[in-house]
Amino acid sequence: MITKVLFSAKELANFLADFLCSDDSGIACVGTELRRDDFVGLNVCEALSGVRGLREKIIECPYGLENCLEEIVDRKIKRLLVIDAALPPKDLGALVFLTEINNISAGFIATTHNIPVPMLINYLRMNDVAREAYLLGIVASDLSFGEGLSNEALKGAELTQKIIFEAWSKCRRKRSRKCLKV
């Protein structure tokens, strides 16, 4: 569990390495290609879906997390990472950040979704899933109607992919060492 917002690539990679190594973790990628930077979560997961072992953790949630609730419950995901576009305070100073879903205040996430993410997480928790839930937010700058990511969102997507690839590599190395010790 984290109680603060993580910004540095090293902190994110260390946290995510432990997170992704958990057998009951999953990644929900949220967004829509109809609102430019709102596609960034799905963009990241498209890149991650080619990674063996990681692709099984991914759930694509086009048009909102609310469209994936059944799959999250069916998979019994206890530790959930939501990757989505975000409009954090202007003084954030980072392209990417990680926080617990409970830390999100109204208006913090930029989505096209009608139901607030914390409310959806509470629903999942009533179904004994998403006991731990985090937002990996990628800063959005253009939510206008149209296709294609802004330069800022594209840089955030690339950084996120790099961080998750690094975290997954750490996880795999850790698992390999455990196997060798047995």
pLDDT, tens digit (0-9, with 9 covering 90-100), for 147-179: 999 999 999 999 999 999 999 988 888 766 665
| pLDDT given at position 95 | 85
What is the rounded average pLDDT of the residues 121-130?
A: 93
The verdict on residue 29 lying in a domain is yes
2, part of any domain: no
Q: Is the pTM of this model over 0.85?
A: yes
State the pLDDT at residue 129.
93
Both tokens assigned to 55: 């692709």
User: Treating both helix axes as pointing N-terminal to C-terminal, what angle do 40-48 and 151-181 enclose, rounded to 10 degrees?
Assistant: 40
CATH number of the domain to which 128 belongs: 3.40.50.1450
> How many separate domains does the chain show?
1
pLDDT confidence of residue 3: 47
Position 1 in a domain: no
If you average pLDDT over every residue of the chain, what do you get? 85
Task: Please report whether residue 61 resides in a domain.
Answer: yes
4 within a domain of the structure (yes/no) = no
Estimate to the nearest angstrom the gap between the alpha carbon of 107 and the chain centroid: 18
Coil, helix or strand at residue 86: strand
Sheet holding 96-100, edge to edge: 58-62, 25-31, 79-86, 132-139, 96-100
Residue 125 is assigned to a structural domain of this protein: yes
Q: For residue range 57-70, list pLDDT tens digits in order.
A: 999 999 889 999 99
Domain that holds residue 88: 9-181
133 assigned to some structural domain = yes
- Do the Cβ atoms of 121 and 103 come closer than 8 Å? no
Report yes or no on 167 lying in a domain: yes
* Residue predicted with more confidence, 52 or 158: 158
What is the structure's pLDDT at 1?
A: 46
What's the Cα-to-Cα distance from 25 to each of 17, 21, 59, 140, rounded to whole Å?
A: 11, 8, 11, 25
Please report the pLDDT score of residue 100 as a whole number: 86
pLDDT of residue 9: 82
Q: Check residues 86 and 71 and name the one with the higher pLDDT.
A: 71
- Whether the pLDDT of residue 39 is over 90: the answer is yes
